């Protein structure tokens, strides 16, 4: 395997030069030939803006085909792509810019002034803009720049991207992903899921996370296939596009919304080859209802930002509801007892660890955190609780880490609690995820006020609004006299989850 991701893509792009790579609903399209040419032009612009091999390029832009061409340009010159959720607030962005020290910050045109201010404050030397219609200063510059036709020479541990995952201690950690990590995983997934040049992926995920960026786009590039780029997941649009696609990748919320719709029939999905779900648990009920309505068994897989994809249900063979399947080729797993660290017996629950060429090389400038989670023998401690059954299928049964997954987005309670606790009226708080019919889990805050103090839900949400992306903000806030604690004084979040379990049941 060639570990240089762009070289691997480029070989396919040349082979498929006249074929469509990305198309939009408005009829805009880029062939592979276009992608080769424009990525060279953008690479020229990046170079002029001071991006050198190993330099980070922070990108917070709305979804567009050009954003993927920018990702390709970055790979081409050995830059390190650093995508950021468009929902992040200025406070959140400030931290990433300070921590990653990018050579360039690419933002939406309408946020240029804010971006300039943040860049000046954090010492980021350059800012460029990218819109959603082939516009912005970066595209303009690329049209005038000397194209950079070459491809950087890279070692197998050279970084392709840094993706930030929120930290359990409140500080986000930058997962360093190498070209080898991404190339090996894309190659594995193309084979495992039988992707070919004939595929057309309906792409409705955001492109600032592993799922929408690497699982979706890298696999398409590796197969020389095409994708229909949709700005977001919209049920009506999906139904109108399903007859033209062959694969849909989504988080469970995509499927729970589709299943509730009477338009979901065998006919509308007849052209589709495959439905894939991941990023959060897909319930057996949704899996079964989808199969009953369409005849398609959703293929559920399991992955993480730090590891790419690890475990998948089979393409051929039984796709078992409520399980994530078996380790992908090249991936080793072990399920260990939290206390002893020894592997548990088949059927027992333990902490899932994974190892393989897909596993990241560490957290950016956090050697201690890296040592805690990435063991010397190469296994990464996922923090997920798993069980392997007698047929070898892995079940993700819960989490050892304090994490909420809302509509496929991770929310670390600590980060939210810390900001709530800043309010002078607040004694303490606990943030938990409660069952939510649409989002899987709903972020919920339970707050204890200081004696004699008063503050309401709106004030708490108002305080969070400036600081945290919308999806991290609690959908509901409860006030209690005290938080339940065990004998060690640790807050028993399980008790809170039980007590407020029905909060969103009829949502």
399 binds, among ligand AMP, ligand MLC, none (CB under 5 to 8 A by kind): ligand AMP
> Interaction with ligand MLC in 418-447: which residues (CB under 6 A)?
439
* Residue showing the smallest CB distance to ligand AMP in the complex: 305
Q: Cα angle vertex 425, ends 421, 426, to 5°?
A: 35
Question: Does residue 303 bind ligand MLC (CB under 6 A)?
Answer: yes
Question: Does residue 324 bind ligand AMP (CB under 6 A)?
Answer: yes
Question: Does residue 300 bind ligand AMP (CB under 6 A)?
Answer: yes
DSSP state of 248: E
Minimum CB distance to ligand AMP smaller for 4 or for 279? 279
Minimum CB separation from ligand MLC for residue 404, in Å?
A: 9
How far apart are the C-alpha atoms of 433 and 475, rounded to whole Å?
10
Q: Collect all residues with Cβ–Cβ distance below 8 Å to 128 and sequence separation of at least 6.
A: 45, 49, 104, 105, 106, 107, 136, 137, 138, 141
How far apart are the C-alpha atoms of 242 and 124, rounded to whole Å?
43
How far apart are the C-alpha atoms of 280 and 302, rounded to whole Å?
8
CA dihedral sign of residues 185, 186, 187, 191: positive
Minimum CB separation from ligand MLC for residue 222, in Å?
A: 17
Binding region for ligand MLC (CB under 6 A) out of 154-162, 334-342, 407-415, 427-435: 407-415
Question: Does residue 485 bind ligand MLC (CB under 6 A)?
Answer: no
CB atoms under 10 Å from CB of 96, counted, come to 24
Binding region for ligand AMP (CB under 6 A) out of 50-58, 226-234, 297-305, 437-445: 297-305
CA dihedral sign of residues 260, 261, 266, 272: negative
Question: Does residue 304 bind ligand MLC (CB under 6 A)?
Answer: yes
**Alpha-carbon distance values, 194 to 223, 268, 269, 317 (Å):** 9, 22, 18, 13
Q: Collect all residues with Cβ–Cβ distance below 8 Å to 39 and sequence separation of at least 6.
A: 69, 72, 73, 76
Binding region for ligand AMP (CB under 6 A) out of 118-126, 272-280, 337-345, 358-366: 272-280
Minimum CB distance to ligand MLC smaller for 43 or for 221? 221
DSSP state of 255: H
DSSP state of 315: S
Question: Does residue 174 bind ligand MLC (CB under 6 A)?
Answer: no
How far apart are the C-alpha atoms of 324 and 393, rounded to whole Å?
7
* Residue showing the smallest CB distance to ligand MLC in the complex: 407
Question: Does residue 441 bind ligand AMP (CB under 6 A)?
Answer: no
Minimum CB separation from ligand MLC for residue 507, in Å?
A: 11
Please name which of 430, 427, 405, 402 lies closest in space to residue 416, comparing C-alpha atoms: 430
**Alpha-carbon distance values, 414 to 94, 170, 430, 451 (Å):** 19, 5, 8, 23
Quick check: 87 and 63 in contact, CB under 8 A?
no
Binding region for ligand MLC (CB under 6 A) out of 107-115, 116-124, 301-309, 444-452: 301-309
How many residues touch ligand MLC under the rule CB under 6 A: the total is 22
DSSP string covering 428-490 = EEEEEEEEETTTEEEEEEEEEEPTT----HHHHHHHHHTTS-GGGS-SEEEEES---B-TT--
Binding region for ligand MLC (CB under 6 A) out of 98-106, 218-226, 299-307, 314-322: 299-307
Give the residues across from 308 on adjacent strands: 304
How far apart are the C-alpha atoms of 214 and 192, rounded to whole Å?
15
Per DSSP bridges, beta strands 200-203 and 226-229 are parallel
Could you say which of 56, 76, 173, 209 contacts ligand MLC (CB under 6 A)? 209
Quick check: 206 and 212 in contact, CB under 8 A?
yes
DSSP state of 475: S
Quick check: 299 and 274 in contact, CB under 8 A?
yes
439 binds, among ligand MLC, ligand AMP, none (CB under 5 to 8 A by kind): ligand MLC
The mark string for 134-153 relative to ligand MLC (x by CB under 6 A, - otherwise) is --------------------
Binding region for ligand AMP (CB under 6 A) out of 90-98, 264-272, 295-303, 355-363: 295-303
Q: Exposed, middle or buried by CB within 10 Å (0-12, 13-18, 19+), for 78?
A: buried
251 binds, among ligand MLC, ligand AMP, none (CB under 5 to 8 A by kind): ligand MLC
Q: Collect all residues with Cβ–Cβ distance below 8 Å to 196 and sequence separation of at least 6.
A: 223, 225
Minimum CB distance to ligand AMP smaller for 378 or for 398? 398
Minimum CB separation from ligand MLC for residue 408, in Å?
A: 3
Question: Does residue 212 bind ligand MLC (CB under 6 A)?
Answer: yes
Question: Does residue 373 bind ligand AMP (CB under 6 A)?
Answer: no
Question: Does residue 228 bind ligand MLC (CB under 6 A)?
Answer: no
Minimum CB distance to ligand MLC smaller for 45 or for 162? 162
Question: Does residue 251 bind ligand MLC (CB under 6 A)?
Answer: yes
Question: Does residue 305 bind ligand AMP (CB under 6 A)?
Answer: yes
406 binds, among ligand MLC, ligand AMP, none (CB under 5 to 8 A by kind): ligand MLC
* Contact positions vs ligand AMP (CB under 6 A): 165, 210, 278-281, 300, 302-305, 324, 382, 384, 396, 399, 405, 410
* Contact positions vs ligand MLC (CB under 6 A): 205-206, 209-212, 232-233, 251, 253, 278-279, 303-305, 406-409, 439, 470-471
């Amino acid at each position: 395997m060639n570990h240089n991701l762009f070289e691997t893509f480029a070989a396919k792009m040349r082979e498929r030069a006249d074929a469509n790579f990305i198309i939009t609903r408005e009829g805009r399209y880029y062939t592979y030939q276009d992608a080769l040419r424009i990525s060279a032009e953008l690479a020229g612009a990046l170079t002029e803006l001071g991006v050198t091999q190993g330099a980070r390029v922070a990108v917070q832009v709305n979804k567009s085909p050009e954003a993927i061409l920018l990702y390709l340009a970055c790979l081409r010159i050995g830059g390190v792509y650093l995508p950021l959720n468009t929902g992040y607030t200025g406070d959140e962005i400030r931290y990433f810019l300070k921590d990653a020290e990018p050579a360039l910050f690419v933002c939406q045109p309408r946020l240029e002034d804010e971006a300039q201010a943040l860049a000046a404050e954090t010492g980021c030397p350059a800012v460029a803009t990218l819109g959603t219609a082939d516009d912005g200063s970066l595209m303009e510059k690329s049209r005038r720049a000397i194209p950079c036709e070459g491809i950087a020479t890279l070692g197998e541990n050279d970084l392709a991207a840094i993706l930030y995952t929120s930290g359990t201690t409140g500080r986000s950690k930058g997962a360093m992903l190498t070209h080898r990590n991404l190339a090996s995983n894309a190659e594995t997934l193309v084979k495992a899921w039988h992707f070919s040049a004939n595929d057309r992926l309906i792409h409705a995920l955001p492109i600032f996370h592993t799922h929408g960026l690497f699982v979706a786009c890298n696999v398409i590039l590796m197969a020389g296939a095409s994708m229909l780029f949709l700005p977001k997941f919209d049920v009506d649009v999906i139904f109108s596009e399903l007859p033209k696609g062959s694969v849909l990748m989504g988080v469970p919320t995509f499927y729970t919304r589709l299943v509730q719709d009477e338009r979901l029939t065998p006919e509308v999905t007849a052209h589709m080859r495959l439905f894939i779900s991941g990023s959060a648990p897909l319930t057996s009920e949704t899996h079964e209802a989808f199969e009953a309505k369409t005849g398609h068994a959703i293929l559920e897989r399991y992955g993480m930002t730090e590891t790419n994809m690890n475990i998948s249900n089979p393409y051929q063979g039984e796709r078992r509801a409520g399980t994530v399947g078996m380790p992908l080729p090249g991936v080793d797993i072990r399920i260990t007892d939290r206390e002893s660290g020894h592997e548990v017996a088949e059927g027992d629950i333990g902490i899932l660890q994974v190892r393989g060429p897909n596993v990241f090389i560490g957290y950016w400038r956090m050697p201690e955190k890296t040592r805690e989670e990435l063991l010397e023998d190469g296994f990464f401690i996922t923090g997920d609780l798993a069980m392997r059954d007698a047929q070898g299928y892995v079940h993700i049964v819960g989490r050892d880490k304090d994490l909420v997954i809302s509509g496929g987005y991770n929310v670390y309670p600590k980060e939210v609690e810390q900001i709530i606790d800043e309010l002078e009226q607040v004694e303490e708080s606990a943030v938990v995820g409660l069952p939510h019919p649409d989002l899987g889990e709903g972020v919920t805050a339970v707050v204890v006020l200081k004696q004699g103090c008063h503050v309401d839900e709106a004030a708490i949400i108002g305080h969070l609004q400036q600081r945290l992306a919308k999806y991290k903000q609690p959908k509901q806030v409860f006030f209690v006299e005290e938080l339940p604690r065990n004998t060690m004084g640790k807050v028993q979040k399980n008790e809170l989850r039980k007590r407020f379990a029905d909060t969103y049941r009829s949502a």
